[in-house]
Amino acid sequence: MSHAIGNNKREYSLNLLLQDIGPNGSDMDWIVTPEQLELPSDDGRMLSNFHWIGHVTKLANSEGEAFFQGTLFGTIVRECVRCLQEFQDPMAIAIQGTFQHEHKKSVGPPRGRRMNEPMTLDELEDEWYPCDGIRLVFAPIFREHVILATPLQPLCTPECRGLCQDCGQNLNHGVCGCADKPAYSPHFANLQALADRIESSQPPVPRRSKSILRRR
């Protein structure tokens, strides 16, 4: 199924036929659904559909290749590693790259080019993605960049105080008072009881009498 182009935001297949790209390139205004991205559970879940706004241009002096750039907008629901509460993480991921045949790669950054001006392979230095010369497939690209944008230690806020290690109270909601309680361990209590029994079973040790030094 080919991907339609235009300003009507509806669900697309995230595939684009090269023959649908105009001579000056084409704008992309797409809806990206959770089913299309298929994010791993460790990377959070999409709060709702994402929105992709971008532009794609055929490369001059090439067959079946194209350059694209744009921004993927959306919100990911993550779990804070400190307090274990879910929070919303708004994202705006800038993505650009080149669709090329697998045996090629791009060199040289684009300089002084307008959005709708064709670019050659020698004017590009971006991530490149394989294509078959017929269609461009965007879903794996979006998925990759969303995963790469996932923080190693997701935090609801940098100041998150986490959970009390004793009672599990969320310290962001208030102090639990466990810090004021004396430290207690049942293991140490058992050792203390054993020491008390051993001490009580021993005969009393006679006290040494004080020596008195007498002068002759």
pLDDT tens series, the chain, 216 aa = 434 444 444 445 799 998 999 989 999 999 999 999 999 988 999 999 999 999 999 988 777 789 999 999 999 999 999 999 999 999 999 999 999 886 655 433 343 444 445 444 444 445 889 888 889 999 999 999 999 999 999 999 999 999 998 899 999 998 887 866 665 556 666 777 777 777 677 665 555 554 444 444
Q: What are 105's two structure tokens? A: 């790669």
- The contacts of residue 41 (CB under 8 Å, 6+ apart) are none
- Asked if residues 31 and 11 have their Cβ atoms less than 8 Å apart, the reply is yes
Side-chain-side CA neighbours of 127 within 13 Å: the count stands at 11
Q: In terms of DSSP bridges, do strands 50-58 and 26-32 run parallel, antiparallel, or are they unpaired?
A: antiparallel
- The rounded Cα 10 to chain-centroid distance in angstroms is 26
User: How much is the pLDDT for 76?
Assistant: 97
**Domain-by-domain residue ranges, the chain?**
15-148, 161-202
User: What is the C-alpha separation between 146 and 72, in angstroms, rounded?
Assistant: 9
Amino acid identity of residue 164, one-letter, is C
For the chain, how many residues are written? 216
CA 86 to each of CA 82, 148, 170: distance values in angstroms, whole numbers, following the listed order: 11, 20, 13
User: How much is the pLDDT for 132?
Assistant: 87
3-state secondary structure of 208: coil
User: How much is the pLDDT for 216?
Assistant: 47
- Asked if residues 38 and 143 have their Cβ atoms less than 8 Å apart, the reply is yes
